[in-house]
Chain A
Amino acid sequence: MKCGNEILPERIESIRYSQCSGDGSGIKCESESVSGAVSQRACVYCGARVVLNPITDAFHIVHGPIGCASYTWDIRGSLSSGDEGYRNSYSTDLRETDVIFGGEKKLTAAIDEVMARHSPRVIFIYATCIVGVIGDDIDAICRNAEEKYQIRVIPVKSPGFSGTKKTGYKMACNAIMNLITPSILPEKTADVNILGDFNLAGEMWIIKNYLRKIGISVAANITGDARVDDLKNAPAAKLNLVQCAGSMTYLAKQMEETFAIPFIKISFFGVTDTSDSLLRIAYATGDKNVIERAKAFIEEEKNRVIPLLDKYRKNLVGKKAAIYVGGGFKAISLIRQFNEFGMKTVMVGTQTGSKEDYELIQHLVDEDAVILDDANPAELEAFMTEMGADILVGGVKERPLAYKLGIAFCDHNHERKHPLSGYEGTLNFASEINLSMNSPVWEIISQGGMKYV
C-alpha cells in the first residue's frame, strides 16, 4: 500500500509515511476521530476511570446506564496490597424512567445505599454521556452527600463525547487535586510522590522498592495501589516523579503551582531509561548519599541484568517491531527498549500522543518508519504487513488482529501478565516477546495458515 486508497483522505495528515506527507509539517494529532472510523480509541470517562480506579479504598459509582459500568468492572489489572473494594462495580443503572424524569433521586439513594453498608472515606461519582443531557445536577448531590455523611464525595464529570481519553485524564487529575488539597500547606518532607504508575502487574511495587534501596521514601503513589490517607500526604512531598506523562503532567503542573512541588519526567521501561531515571531522581534530591547509592545500585543491576538480556538478544536482534499504544511517552520508551535489544521499530502509533511526543518519535526511528495517530485496524494491518513487522506491542483489541496476520504480540496495556518496568521488567519484556515470536506454533503456520487450499 503506497498512500493507497485504504487511507481516508481525512486521515492522511495523521499518518507520517515517507512517501505520503514529506512536507515536514508534523503529524496531525490531539484531534477528534473521523466519523465512521474503526478507531481503537476510548472515551473521556474511560480516561478518568483508569486513573482514579486504582485508589483502592475509594468507592467508584458510575452514574449512567449499566454498560459504562459493566465495561470498566475490574479489567485494569491494577493490583492492591490491601483493600479490594475498588474491584467491585457500582452503578446507578439508569433506566428509561430515570432518563425521562432525571436521575438525581436515584444517585442520592445510591450514595445512601453505599453508606448504609460500608464506610468509605471517599466516593467518586462518574457522570457519563447522558447525565449531562438529562440535566442532573451532580455537583449539588455530591455537596449534599458530603454534608450529610462528612466524607468526600467527588464528582467526575466525564461524558464520553467531551473530548478524548486525555480529557478524562484531566478530569481525574482535577478530582485528585480536589481530594488532596489541604486548607493549610503542610511542612515539606524529604519524600517524593510517584505520579502515573497504576501498579499494573505490581509495577509500582518495583519502583518503590528501587527508591527504597537508594534511600528515598515515597509519600504518595498516584494512583497505583493508592489509599486515600497516603494521597493526602502528597502535598508535603518535595519532588514529583512523573511516569505516565500523558496522563499526569497536568496534575504535576497543578501540584507545582499549588504545593510548590517541582517534577521530573521519568520512565522505568528498559535498562537505559530505568538507569537514567534513577540517576536523575537521585541528583534531583541533591543528597550525596542517595546519589552514591543510586550509582552503586544501577551498576549492580546492570551487571546482573545485561548478561541475562544478552541471552535473548541473539533471538531478537534484527527483528522488526510495531508499536500501537495509548500514550506517546510509552511509545518512546518502547522504541528505546527495542533499540537496546537490537530491534528495529518499523511502525509506531498512539491513541493520544501529543505533538512533542511525535517529534521525539520521529528522531528515534528510521526515516522510513511509519508513524500514525489514532489508527484503525485496516491501517495497522496494511502498514504492519508492508513493513514486515515481526511483533506488535499493543492492547487487547490489537492482539487478535496481530495473531490473524501471523505476527507475534505482546500486551503492554491493561492485560500485561508480568510487570514490565524496571530491570526485572525489562527481562520479563524480553522474555515475553521472545516467547511470542518463537512459539512453536509459528513453525507450524510458517507456510501460511492454509495447508490444503
Chain B
Amino acid sequence: MLNLTPKEVSKRSALRINPLRTCQPVGAMYAALGVHGCLPHSHGSQGCCSYHRTFLTRHFKDPAIASSSSFTEGASVFGGGANLKTAVRNIFDIYDPEIIAVHTTCLSETIGDDLTGYIQDAKITEGKYVVHTNTPSYVGSHITGYANMISGFIKYLSESTGDKNGKLAVFPGFVNPGDMREMKRIMTLMGIPFTMLPDSSGVMDSPMTGTYEMFPRGGTTVAEIIDLGNCQSALALGEMTSEAPAETLEKKCKVPYQTLPLPIGVESTDAFIMALNHFCKEEVPYALEEERGQLLDIMLDSSQYSHEKTAAIFGDPDTVLGITQFVLEMGMIPKYVVTGTPGSTFDKRVTELFEKYQVEGCVVKSASDLFELHQWIKNDPVDVMIGGTYGKAVARAEDIPLVRAGFPIIDRYVHSYLPIVGYKGAMRLIELILTAIMDRQDRDCADEDFEIVM
C-alpha cells in the first residue's frame, strides 16, 4: 500500500505530497481548548472548523468543541463582520462560555477581515471576554497557530499591576495533556507556584463521569491569564513553539523569560529541573533524583539493543528535536530528522546536535513531507521510525517498525494520557522504542538466535 513513491528523488517546487503539518487554526483551537471555560471560534467557512474539530477528536478521542462564523458567499464578498457579531451574541446566549477565543482562517485572512475592529464593536456581556488571533494557514503551520493563539490571550488579557505574584509562568509547548500533567507534577514536587498556559489536561483527557460538560474542569483560568503579567519570570518550553508567546508576555508585562528545549530525554529534562531549581532555590527533591537514576539505569541496561540503531524521526519541530536529543543519548543514530513546519531554527538546532554527538551521514530538513522522507528511506532504510500515525503507510511499505510519538496519532489509544516529557516520560519513550526494536528482532531472527532472556 502507498507504494507509489519512486526511489529517485527529483526536485519538487510546487507539489506537496503527504504533508507533515497542518494549518494554523487547528493549533489555535487546541491552545484555546486549554483555557478554562473557553469556546474556540473559527472565523471563516464552516468546513475548516469541522475539519479542525474532527482532527483533534481523532487524536485525543475526546470531544473538541468550537463554533464557526459559518461564512457564506455574502461574507466572502462583503467581509465577515456581521457573521462575527451574530456569532458572539449567539455563543454567549446559548453556550455561555466565559471567553471566546477567535482565530481566523485562510478565507477571512485573504479577504482582509479586521478582527480587532469587529471585536471592539461586538456586544460582549459584562464579565465575559472575546480575544482573537490571526492564523493564516499559508504561513507557518499548526504550531504557529498554537503559538499565535497563546500570544492572543496574553495580548488581550495579561496585565502587570506592579505587584509580583511570586509565580512562574510556563508555556508547555505543543504537547499532550499527559505531558502537561507530568510538567505540573514535577513543578508541584519542587514546590513551585506556577501558571501554565495553555493547560489542556482535564479538558482533552477529561474523565468519564456520565455527564457531558461542554466546558470541563481543566484549563488555565482567565484570572490566571490576567495575572500572568505579574509572574516573576517565565519559562518557554520548546523554542519554536513557546518563545513567541513568552516574548509577547515580556514585551507587554516585562516578565523576563528563559527558553529551553522541550524536556524530552535526560539532558533537556535536567535543564528544565535546573531552571525550576534556580527559580525556587530549594533542594531538588529526592524523588526526582531517583527517577533520573532509574532512567539512566534503564538506558545502560538496554544499551546493547539501542546502540547504533538508526531512526527516522518526523513530526512537529520541538517534539522532533527533543526526541532526536534523546535517541542520541541512547546511542542511536537519528538518520533522518524532518518536520513539515517551515523555519531554519529547526535545521540549525538539529545540526548542532549532530555535531555535538558527532554522528555522520544524518540529514535534517524543515518544510519537508512524508513523501520525501519515504524516498530517503527507500534509498537507505532505518531500523525504526518515530512519529505520528501518517508514518504508518511508509512503515508498512518498507517494513519498518513505527513508534508512535507526537501529533497526530489517530490510530491508537491512551497515548495522549501519558507523557514523553520528564524522566518518567523518557522511560515511557525508551520502553516504546526498545519494544519496537526488540519485537522486530524476535520476529525476524532465525530460530537458533531466538532468545528468551534479552
Q: Name A116's closest neighbour in chain B (CB-CB).
A: B10
Binds B, one of A17-25, A240-248, A399-407: A399-407
* Chain B interface residues toward A at CB < 8 A: 1-4, 6, 10, 12-19, 21-26, 39, 41, 44-55, 57-58, 61-73, 75-76, 83-84, 86-91, 93-95, 105-107, 110-111, 136-139, 141, 206-214, 371, 390, 393
Q: How close is A144's CB to chain B, nearest CB, in angstroms?
A: 15
B86's partner among A35, A43, A67, A73 (CB-CB below 8 A) is A35
Residue of A nearest to B111 (CB): A133
Answer whether A42 and B50 are a contact pair too, CB < 8 Å, given A34-B90, A37-B68, A107-B14.
Answer: yes
Whether B138 lies near A99 (C-beta < 8 A) is yes
* A-B pairs, 5 with minimum CB distance: A43-B47, A67-B23, A36-B87, A36-B90, A109-B14
Cα A141 to Cα B15 in complex, Å, equals: 15
Q: List 22 A-B contacts (CB under 8 A).
A: A33-B68, A35-B86, A39-B70, A67-B137, A69-B16, A69-B19, A70-B55, A71-B51, A84-B4, A89-B17, A96-B138, A99-B138, A106-B14, A108-B14, A118-B4, A129-B45, A378-B94, A399-B61, A400-B57, A404-B62, A404-B211, A445-B208
Residues 83-123 of A at the B interface (beta carbon under 8 Å): 84-85, 87-96, 98-99, 105-110, 112-114, 116-118
Is A397 a contact partner of B371 (Cβ separation < 8 A)? Answer: no
Q: A43-B47, A71-B55, A88-B4 are in contact. Are A397 and B209 (CB under 8 A)?
A: no
Query: Do the beta carbons of B50 and A41 come within 8 Å of each other?
Result: yes
Measured between beta carbons, the chain B residues less than 8 angstroms from A44 are 47
- Across-interface contacts of A64 in B (CB, < 8 A): 106
Contacts of A7 in B (CB 8 A): 94
State A445–B371 Cα separation when bound (angstroms).
45
**B70 CB contact (under 8 Å) in A33, A72, A114, A405:** A33
Q: A161-B72, A403-B208, A449-B209 are in contact. Are A396 and B58 (CB under 8 A)?
A: yes
User: Is A343 in the interface zone, CB < 8 Å from B?
Assistant: no
Residues on A lying within 8 angstroms of B by beta carbon are 5-8, 10, 32-46, 61, 64-74, 84-85, 87-96, 98-99, 105-110, 112-114, 116-118, 129-130, 132-134, 159-162, 377-378, 381, 396-397, 399-401, 403-406, 445, 448-450
Q: Is the Cβ of A448 less than 8 Å from the Cβ of B50?
A: no
* Residues on the A chain within 8 Å of B49, using CB: 39
Establish whether residues B71 and A161, one from each chain, have CB atoms under 8 Å apart when the complex forms.
yes
Q: Which residue of A lies closest to B50 (CB)?
A: A42
Q: Are A378 and B72 in contact (CB under 8 A)?
A: no
Distance between Cα atoms of A66 and B15 in the complex (Å) = 11
**Which residues of the partner chain A approach B209 to less than 8 Å between Cβ atoms?**
404, 448-450
- On chain A, the residues within 8 Å of B54 by CB distance are 71, 396-397
Contact status of A39 and B212, CB under 8 A, knowing A33-B70, A71-B22, A89-B18: no
Give A43 to B105 CA distance when docked, in angstroms: 14
Give the contacting residue for A8; candidates B65, B93, B138; CB below 8 A.
Answer: B93
| Smallest CB separation, B161 vs chain A (Å) | 34
Residue in A37, A69, A118, A133 whose CB lies within 8 Å of B67 = A37
- 16 other contacts beyond A72-B51, A85-B4, with CB at 8 A cut-off? A36-B90, A37-B70, A38-B65, A38-B66, A38-B67, A39-B67, A39-B70, A46-B50, A65-B138, A93-B16, A99-B106, A117-B6, A134-B110, A161-B72, A397-B50, A406-B210
In the complex, chain B residues whose CB is within 8 Å of the CB of A112: 14
Inter-chain contact B72/A133, CB cutoff 8 Å: no
**In the complex, how many angstroms separate the beta carbon of B42 from the nearest chain A beta carbon?**
10
Instruction: List A contacts of B110 (CB < 8 A).
Output: 99, 129-130, 133-134
Decide if B23 touches A161 in the complex (CB within 8 Å): no
CB-nearest residue of chain A relative to B26?
A: A67
Of all chain A residues, the one with the shortest Cβ separation from B40 is A38
Q: A8-B93, A69-B19 are in contact. Are A160 and B46 (CB under 8 A)?
A: yes
Does B63 contact A67, Cβ atoms closer than 8 Å?
Answer: no
A134 proximity list for chain B (CB < 8 A): 110
Task: Considering the complex, give the chain A residue whose CB is closest to the CB of B141.
Answer: A66
> In the complex, how many angstroms separate the beta carbon of B55 from the nearest chain A beta carbon?
6
- Cα A10 to Cα B70 in complex, Å, equals 14
CB closest residue in chain B, given A351:
B50
Q: Which residues of A contact B57 (CB under 8 A)?
A: 396-397, 399-400
| Contacting residues, chain B, for A46 (C-beta < 8 A) | 47, 50-51
By beta carbon, the residue of chain B nearest A158 is B47
Chain A nearest CB, measured from B95 CB (Å)? 6
* Across-interface contacts of B15 in A (CB, < 8 A): 61, 90-92, 109-110, 113-114
CB-contact partner of B19 in A33, A66, A109, A399, under 8 A: A66
Partner of B210, one of A90, A161, A381, A450: A450
Q: How many angstroms between the C-alpha atoms of A94 and B137 in the bound complex?
A: 9
Asked if A67 and B17 sit within 8 Å, CB to CB, the answer is no
Asked if residues B107 and A130 are in contact (CB atoms below 8 Å), the reply is: yes
Per the bound structure, the CA–CA distance linking A112 and B10 in Å amounts to 12
Closest Cβ–Cβ distance, residue B137 to chain A (whole Å): 4
Least Cβ distance of B165 to chain A in Å? 30
Residues of A within 8 A of B65 (CB): 38, 377
Cα A412 to Cα B3 in complex, Å, equals 29
Residues from chain B with Cβ under 8 Å of A85 in the complex: 4
Are A35's CB and B208's CB within 8 A? Answer: no
Identify B51's interface contact among A42, A90, A161, A406, CB under 8 A: A42
Whether A35 contacts B70 by the Cβ 8 Å rule is yes
Closest chain B CB from A22 CB (angstroms): 23
| Contact among A10, A43, A96, A116 for B46, CB-based, below 8 A | A43
Cβ–Cβ < 8 Å partners of A45 in chain B: 47
> A381 — nearest CB in chain B belongs to which residue?
B212
* A90, B5: Cα distance in complex, Å: 12
Question: Shortest Cβ distance from A413 into chain B, in angstroms?
Answer: 10
A32 touches B72 (CB 8 A): yes
Q: How far is the CB of A129 from chain B (nearest CB, A)?
A: 4
Closest Cβ of chain A to B50, distance in Å, is 5
What's the minimum C-beta distance from A27 to chain B, rounded to whole angstroms? 19
Establish whether residues A66 and B137, one from each chain, have CB atoms under 8 Å apart when the complex forms.
yes
Let me know if B17 and A90 touch, CB within 8 A: yes
The answer for the CA separation of A204 and B389 in the assembled complex, in Å, is 27
Report chain A residues within 8 Å CB of B141.
66
Docked CA distance A35–B105 (Å): 15
CB distance from B98 to the nearest CB of A (A): 16
* B208 lies within 8 A of A406 (CB): yes
CB distance from A446 to the nearest CB of B (A): 9
A10 in complex: contacting residue of B21, B64, B90, B213, CB < 8 Å: B90
Please indicate the chain A residues that have their CB under 8 angstroms from the CB of B136 in the complex: 65, 96, 99
Q: Are A397 and B86 in contact (CB under 8 A)?
A: no
Report chain B residues within 8 Å CB of A132. 76
A396 to B393, CA, bound (A): 22
Chain A residues with CB under 8 Å of B64's CB are 397
Cα of A141 to Cα of B405 in the assembled complex, Å: 40
For B58, list chain A residues within 8 Å (CB). Answer: 396
Find chain B residues with CB under 8 A from A43 CB.
45-48, 50-51
Which residues of chain A have C-beta atoms less than 8 A from B73's C-beta?
Answer: 161-162
B51 touches A110 (CB 8 A): no
Q: Which residue among B2, B75, B88, B209 has the maximum number of chain A CB atoms within 10 Å of its CB?
A: B209
Residues of A within 8 A of B23 (CB): 65-68, 70
Whether the pair A39, B138 counts as a contact (CB closer than 8 A) is no
CB <8 Å contact, A96 and B139: yes
B25 — which chain A residues lie within 8 A by C-beta?
A: 67
Q: Which residues of A contact B1 (CB under 8 A)?
A: 84, 87
- Determine whether the beta carbon of A42 is less than 8 Å from that of B46: yes
User: Is there contact, CB below 8 Å, between B67 and A88?
Assistant: no
User: When chains A and B are docked, how far (Å) is the Cα of A378 from the Cα of B49?
Assistant: 17
- Contact in complex: A98, B18 (CB < 8 Å): no
